[in-house]
Amino acid sequence: MSADRETNQTMTDRDIALLLADAADEVEIGIAPYQAVIRGGRRRRARRWALATAAALVITGTSGTLALAGLRDGNGVEVSPAVTQQSTEPLTPEERHVYEPQATVIATGIVGGKDWSVTVDVWGAPRSEGEAWAQLQRMKAFGEVPVDARKSSQLVGKYSFFARRIIGDGKESILTENSVDTKDEMAGTDLDSAALSLDPKHTTPQRLVIGQVAKTAQEVTCAWKDGSSTVARRVAEGADVNTDESAIRPVAGSSANWFVCVGPEGTTFDSVKVTK
């Protein structure tokens, strides 16, 4: 070791950087807070790229900014790193819509001369018990408390949705709600749905069907008791919501797409499935 030390007294900054990179490549590093969603092989490749590019990498707090230590080239001249990386993942509870839901209108129409609409509110997932407690207080103020959330801690790591309907000047009512683990995603022909009446008193047939499907679903078909059927096809994000339109559309904050089927007057719901 002493001989090596003597022969390497003139080692350049570049040589040291390369040795640090080789050594660091053998060290398993915990998930970086600025990009916690990176997993598996992608995470490993990202680490190697960062080390090969910068030789020294510092994460500054939890701001998501990567600070690169000063480097010198083979001639000892200081150079600036060519690339820095900024996390695009929302960090604050406000940016993640933890305390204020995102609202998306998924259906509108006219029944009995009155306008009706269905809106989906989505609350972002709290990351701590403190955020969950504060979120639950805000939910109570909105009148949107998950039925299964007996304790605020049960909301940690879950986003919550509430589908609301209003008819004319009447009071908004919650049609369906749930809290979903952010790791759970619908796939293939997965489908959750509810058949509803377009009458606040539920005296008319169930000819409104709403539900969730996987992001990959292109078409949902609803069948009615009179033998007819309605096809809801996926539309682009931001597409207009037209009167009595059946469609599949993205909902802000939701890991699934939502669909709406509106059936003919006088008939009632029979079945629904993903057909494409």
* pLDDT reported for residue 238: 87
* Domain locations along the chain: 2-79, 102-124+157-274
Both tokens of residue 218? Answer: 């292109």
Average the pLDDT over 82-92 and give the result. 60
Other CB atoms closer than 10 Å to residue 141's CB: what's the count? 10
Reply yes or no on whether the pLDDT at 236 is more than 80. Answer: yes
State the pLDDT confidence band at 210, using cuts at 50, 70 and 90: very high
Spatial contact of 160 and 148, defined as CB atoms under 8 Å apart: no
Q: Which residue has the tokens 């969603």?
A: 37
The mean-pLDDT minimum among 72-81, 136-145, 204-213 falls in: 72-81
pTM, whole model, 2 decimals?
0.66
Tell me the three state secondary structure of residue 39: coil
Residues near 162 by beta carbon (within 8 Å), at least 6 away in sequence: 101, 120, 121, 144, 174, 176, 177
Sheet holding 114-123, edge to edge: 102-111, 114-123, 158-167, 173-181
d(C-alpha 68, C-alpha 261), whole Å? 53
Who contacts 8 (Cβ-Cβ below 8 Å, separation ≥6)? none
pLDDT for the residue numbered 112:
87
Q: Give the tens place of pLDDT for each residue, 47-80.
A: 332 333 332 333 223 333 333 334 444 555 454 4
Is residue 230 over pLDDT 50?
yes
Region 193-218 average pLDDT: 91
Backbone angles phi, psi at 135, to 5 degrees: -65, -40
Which stretch of 76-85, 105-114, 150-159 has the lowest confidence by average pLDDT?
76-85
Over residues 197-211, mean pLDDT: 88
Which of these, 80, 86, 39, lies nearest to 60 by C-alpha position? 86
